[in-house]
């Protein structure tokens, strides 16, 4: 009696889904981005592109540099006095924290690299205070980009770099999807830590975490939409203009 040889099971690993990741601003809430990244990696997603504003730029940059574990182990256990020691107080220059101590501490723990040398595409978004326009950092010093993007108006002193006076990217683009449009991935996941508690979905892809939106297709905006579709939008732009005027002393 002839017996058929057993058929070997196909044990080839399932290819990881390549994704773009957008990390929004949000102050201390932005530390939630650490958990989001860890869960995405645990679920087998391949993060190939990152764009972020403010805290999103910081956490995304640390991950892109391959130092997220080290950064998490340093920053999360910090006690209140440890944090206070990192604050270099100033009473001039547009903010009451210079930011140099924080950035130097980050550089010490994470190291400084060129953005173009990172293993993933990375963009930090800041705002040119004089031109009142977004500035995208996709090359050059990673930490110069982060320093500019985290310069929260009236809190951190604006960062002067390459002839520009730069502040927090969240001022104009708190969830910068646009920089990831140039990267070919299967999906874009945008994390807004200031978003609604109820999960939302776009393009038929369901969200699994509060404040997270998954996009299969992305709108072709450039982050500088001048539309005046509703009164709320116009009032928001008016508030931003007044903030710029205040920071510039006008």
Catalytic residue numbers, as ranges: 54, 168
CA–CA distance, 86 with 71 (Å, rounded to integer):
15
> Shortest CA distance to 189 belongs to which of 42, 19, 24, 17?
19
Ramachandran angles phi, psi of 8, nearest 5°:
-65, 135
CA–CA distance, 68 with 99 (Å, rounded to integer):
20
CA–CA distance, 230 with 212 (Å, rounded to integer):
25
In a 3-state reduction of DSSP, which class is residue 161?
strand
> Shortest CA distance to 67 belongs to which of 96, 106, 124, 40?
106
């Amino acid at each position: 009696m002839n017996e058929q040889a057993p058929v070997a099971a196909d044990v080839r690993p399932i290819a990881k889904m390549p994704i773009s990741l957008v990390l929004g601003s949000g102050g201390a809430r932005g530390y939630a981005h650490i958990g989001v990244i860890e869960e995405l990696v645990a679920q087998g997603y391949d993060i190939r592109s990152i764009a972020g504003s403010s805290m999103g730029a910081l956490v995304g940059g640390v991950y892109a540099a391959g130092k997220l574990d080290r950064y998490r182990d340093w920053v999360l256990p910090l006690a209140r006095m440890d944090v206070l020691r990192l604050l270099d107080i100033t009473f001039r220059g547009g903010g009451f924290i210079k930011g140099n101590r924080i950035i130097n501490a980050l550089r010490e723990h994470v190291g400084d690299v060129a953005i173009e040398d990172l293993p993933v595409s990375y963009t930090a978004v800041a705002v040119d205070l004089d031109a009142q326009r977004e500035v995208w950092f996709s090359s050059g010093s990673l930490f110069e980009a982060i320093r500019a993007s985290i310069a929260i108006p009236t809190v951190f002193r604006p960062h002067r770099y390459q002839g520009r006076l730069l502040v927090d990217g969240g001022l104009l683009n708190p969830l910068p999807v646009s920089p990831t449009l140039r990267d070919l991935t299967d999906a874009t996941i945008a994390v807004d830590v200031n978003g609604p508690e109820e999960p939302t979905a776009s393009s038929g892809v369901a969200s699994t975490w509060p404040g997270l939106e998954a996009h299969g297709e992305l709108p072709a905006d450039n982050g500088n939409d001048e539309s005046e579709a509703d009164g709320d939008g116009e009032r928001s732009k008016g508030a931003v203009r007044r903030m710029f005027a205040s920071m510039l002393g006008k």
